[in-house]
Structure 1
Amino acid sequence: MRASWVTALGLAGLLCAGGASGQEITIGVTMGTTGPGASLGINYKNAFQLMPNAIDGVPIKYVILEDGSDPTAAAKNARQLVAENHVDALMGAVSVPSTTQIALIAEETKTPLIALAPVALPPEKLGWVFIVPQPVPLMMGAVVDDLKSKSIKTVGYIGFSDSWGDLVLKALKQSADPAGIKIVDEERYARADTAVTGQIVKILIAKPDAVVVGGSGTGGALPQIALRDRGYKGPVYHNHGTINREFIKVGGAAVDGAIAPTGPLMVAEELPDSHPVKKVAVDFDQAYEKIFGAGSRNAFAGYSYDGFLLLKAAIPAALKAGKPGTPEFRQALRDALESGQAVVGVHGVYTQTKSDHIGLDGRAVVLAVVDGGAWRLLKK
C-alpha cells in the first residue's frame, strides 16, 4: 500500500491527509521537480509512491513542497514545514546548496533531517543531520583507484561552479595526490549553462590522459558532449550525481563509455549473490520499474527510499519515548538514528552513530559504465 502523502506546489495547494491528531508521524519534504535540478528531483519524488502508509502501526504522512531547485525556496519550505506543519523530520533536497540550507534550519529547530544530497557543513554542525548519499571521498576514491589501475597519470577537471563542484574536486585531489595522479587543469561551469566550449578548449590544450566531470544530472553530460564533439578520445569519469537515464538521453552516443561510481542498486542483478545489498536493491528496482517503466531505475529514487528505511528502523524506538509532534519524539528519533543499528538499504549498509551520521563503507560503491544506452557494471 502506498504512503499517505501530500504535494504542495510552492506554498499553495496543500491538502490534508487523514490520521489521528497526535498519532500520525509527519515527514516534511522539500525538493525541486522543476528548475536545474528537475531531472534529479522527479526521481527523488517518485520513490515516495513505494513507501507504505504506516510504520509500526502508526500512520505516516509525507508533506512534499516544491522548491524549484532553488536553495532560498528550499530554506523557506523547511521553515514552513517545521513551523506550520509541525513535522517530526525533514527530508531533502536535490542539490548540495539546497540541502545545506535545510541542514542549518534542522540544527536551529532541533528537527532530524534525512539529507538526500551531501551537505557542505563541518561535522559539528550536523548534529541533527543524517546523510543518505555516499560520501564524495568514498566515491571519488573508487574513481582514482580505476585511474591508477589503468596507469593514468594526468587528468583534467571540469565541474559545477558551486559547492557540489567544490566537493568533487576536493575529494578527487584527496585521492589523486597520494596516487601520483596530477590534475593538469581545473575548469568550472554554472548549472544552467548550455555551452562549455571555452573550458573544454583549455582542458584539451593541457592534454590530460583522462577527464573527470564534477557535474550532476543532465548538466553533467554537457562537458562530455563537448569533449567528444572536439575529438577527445580519452576516458571520461563522472560522479554519483549523474546516475540516471536522463543523463544518457541528453548525452546520447557522446556519453557511451562514461564511467561513474554509484550505489549497488543501479546494477543490482549483476552483483554476486553474496553482496549484502543485492536482494534489497533488486526488490526495489523491480518495484520501481513496475510503476515507472523498464530502465527507469536511478540512484536518486534510491536515496529517498534509503532515507525511508533509516526512518523505519528508528521510529519504533522513538515511539517509546514520546508522541509524534513533540520535541521528545524528535529527540528520540535523532537518538535512534545514531544508535549504530545496521540498516541494509539499496545503496549500502548504513551504520550511523554519534560520530558518523553517514555510516557507509566500501559496500556502498561500484563503478558503472554507459554501455549501449544503459548503465552497466564496469568489468575489471
Structure 2
Amino acid sequence: MFGRRFAYSLLFSALMVGTAHVQVAQAQVKVGVVTSSTGPIALVGIPQKNSVPLLPTTVAGKSVQYITLDDASDPTATVSAFKKLITEEKVDAIIGPSGSPNAMGVIQFAAEAGVPMLAPVGTAAVVLPMNDQKKWVFKTTQNDDLIAAALIEHMAKTGITSVGFVGTADPYGDNWLKVFSEQAAKQNIKVVASERFQRQDTSLTAQSLKIIAANPQAVLIAAPGSSSVLPQTTLVDQGFRGKFYQTHGAALPDFLKLGGRKVEGTILAASLMLVLDQVGDNHPSKKVASDYVAAYEKANGSKPATFGANVFDAGLLLERAIPVALKSGEPGSPAFRSALRDALEQVKELPATQGVYNLTPADHSGFDERGRELITVSKGTWTLVK
C-alpha cells in the first residue's frame, strides 16, 4: 500500500514539474533577431546587433528573450537563420534581416510559419504590393516614396530637370529607380541615364563615365550603407560637378568618414536622428530618439547609425502589440502569433526614433512627413535644410 502511494506521489510530482515547465515556457515571449554584423553590409548590421540589448526585456508581465544570429550578409545564411529560429527556437516574432535582398528571400518562411517579421531594411518591396505573404511583414524604415518626394521637391525648387541614377542591382535599387522615375516625371524631371552596380564592387568607373556622358544636372545614388559612397566619390574623381542626392540608405556616420570632402553638399532625406540637436523639442520623436542615442552611446562608446534605430523601433512596436496579443493566447502558440500580427497592424500614433508609426492593413511602414527631414552635408557634418 505504501509503495503504491509513494508511486502516485512521484507521478503527481512529475506532473506538477512538467506543468510548471510548460507555464514557464508560455510565460516568455521569444523574439529572433537576424543581423548582418559581419560581411559586406556589416556597417548596417553592427549597430542593429548592438541595439538588441536596449530592447524591452519585460512586457505586460512577460519576459522577452532575444535570440540573435548573424547571417554574415549572405542571403542563404539568412534563410538558414530564419528556419532555425522558427523550427527550433519556436520564436513568436523575428526582427531582421539587415539587407533588402536577404529580407526578400525569407518572407515566405515567416508567412508560412505565421511568424510576424519586422524588417529593418530599405526597400519597400518587402511590404508592397501587399499580399498574403507580405501581410506578415512590417517595415521599420521609411518607404521609398516618402523619401523620394522630399528629394524631388528640392530638385524642383532648385531648377533641376535632368537626373542621372546610380543604384544597387538588387531590390533596393530596383524599387528606388521605379519610385523615383514615376514621381520625378510628374515634376517634369527626367532620368537621362541609369546605371547599376553590385554592393561589393570596387570600381564604378564605367558606370560613372556613362552618367557623365548623359550630362545630367544632378545624380541620385540609391544604395544602402557603405555602398552609397563609391558611386559619388568616383563621379567626383571623373569630373562630375553637378548636384548629388542620396537616399536614407546613406544615413550613417561612415558616409561622412569615407566620403570626406567628396560628399560635401550632398542632399538626402532621412530621419531626425542625424540632426537631433537641430530639431525642435516639439517633435514627437525627439525624446525617444535622444534617449536611444544616449543609451547606445553609453553601452558602445559611439553614436549609432540610423540602421540601429530601425531595430530599436521594432522593439517599441512589439512592446505596444504584445499586451494586445496576450488577450488571444499565450506566447509560443499560433493564436498569440496571429494576434501579434493583427495588433501590429493596428498600432497608432507611436512615437519612435525614426518618426511616428500609424500602421494599417494596407500600410505596414506607417510613416508620414514626421519620419523624414531634408538634410545636407556641410563642413563634414549633417545639417538640417531649413
Q: Same fold, TM exceeding 0.5?
A: yes
Cα distance, 1:119 vs. partner? 5.0
1:186 aligns with 2:194: yes
Following TM superposition, by how much is the alpha carbon of 1:207 offset from its aligned partner in structure 2, in angstroms?
A: 1.0
Match of 1:94 in 2: 98
The 5 Å alignment of 1:177-326 reads: 177-293=185-301, 296-326=303-333
| Alignment of 1:35 onto 2:43 | no
Contact 1:137 1:174 in 2 (8 A): no
Name the residue aligned to 1:14.
Answer: none
- The one-letter code matched in structure 2 to 1:287 is A
**Which residue in the other structure is 1:110 paired with?**
114
Which protein has the bigger helix share? 2
Question: How far apart in 1 are the matches of 2:168 and 2:245?
Answer: 15
Fraction of identical pairs, as percent = 38
Equivalent residues of 1:285, 1:297 under 8 A apart: yes
1:376 aligns with 2:380: no
Aligned-residue offset at 1:361: 0.9
2:371 maps to which of 343, 353, 364: 364
1:189-211 alpha-carbon deviations (Å, 9 max, x no partner): 11110110011011111111000
Deviations 1:19-41 (A, max 9, x none): 93221111011121111111100
* Letter matched to residue 77 of structure 1: A
Question: Comparing 141-150 with 252-261, which one deviates more in the overlay?
Answer: 252-261
Give 1:269 shift: 2.0
Structure 1 residue aligned with 2:338: 331
- The answer for the alignment partner of 2:6 in structure 1 is none
Match of 2:26 in 1: 22
Q: 2:48 & 2:308 partners in 1: Cα distance?
A: 4
Runs of 4+ residues over 4 Å off in structure 1:
none
Structure 1 residue 273 displacement after superposition:
2.3
Alignment of 1:132-211 (within 5 A): 132-211=140-219
**Cα deviation code 1:56-97 (max 9, x no counterpart):** 221111111111111121111111100000000011011111
Question: Does 1:127 pair with 2:120?
Answer: no
Residues of 2 paired with 1:139 and 1:51: CA distance? Answer: 27
Is the Cα–Cα contact under 8 Å of residues 269 and 278 in structure 1 kept in the other structure?
no
Letter in structure 1 aligned against 2:83: R
Amino acid at match of 1:176: A
CA distance in structure 2 between the partners assigned to 1:244 and 1:72 by the alignment: 26
Q: Deviations over 1:203-236 (max 9, x none)?
A: 1111110000011111110011111112222211
Q: CA deviation at 1:175?
A: 1.3
Distance in structure 1 (CA, Å) of the matches to 2:347 and 2:95: 20
2:8 paired residue number: none
CA contact (8 A) 1:141 1:171 kept: no
Per the normalisation by structure 2, the TM-score is 0.90
Partner of 2:66: 62
Deviation, structure 1 residue 52 = 3.1
Structure 1 counterpart of 2:259, one-letter code: G
The TM-score, its normalising length taken from structure 1, stands at 0.91
Do the aligned partners of 2:124 and 2:143 also contact (CA within 8 Å) in 1? Answer: no
Point out the more displaced range, 282-291 or 100-109: 282-291
Could you tell me which runs of 5 or more consecutive residues in structure 2 were left unpaired when the two chains were aligned: 1-22
Q: Distance in 1 between matches of 2:301 and 2:239?
A: 35
Tell whether the 8 Å contact from 2:288 to 2:351 is kept in structure 1 after alignment.
yes
Alignment of 1:78 with 2:85, yes or no, is: no
Which letter maps to 2:200?
A
TM-aligned CA deviation for residue 340 of structure 1 = 4.0
Q: Which amino acid aligns with 1:319?
A: L
The count of residues paired between Structure 1 and Structure 2 equals 360
Q: Is 121-130 or 360-369 further displaced after alignment?
A: 121-130
Aligned to 1:307, what secondary structure does the other structure show? helix
Task: Identify which of 36, 45, 50 aligns with 2:49.
Answer: 45
Could you tell me which runs of 5 or more consecutive residues in structure 1 were left unpaired when the two chains were aligned. 1-18
Helix, strand or coil at the partner of 1:325: coil
Secondary structure at the aligned position of 1:26 is classed as strand
- What is the distance in 2 between the residues matched to 1:299 and 1:259? 17
SS for the counterpart of 2:125 is coil
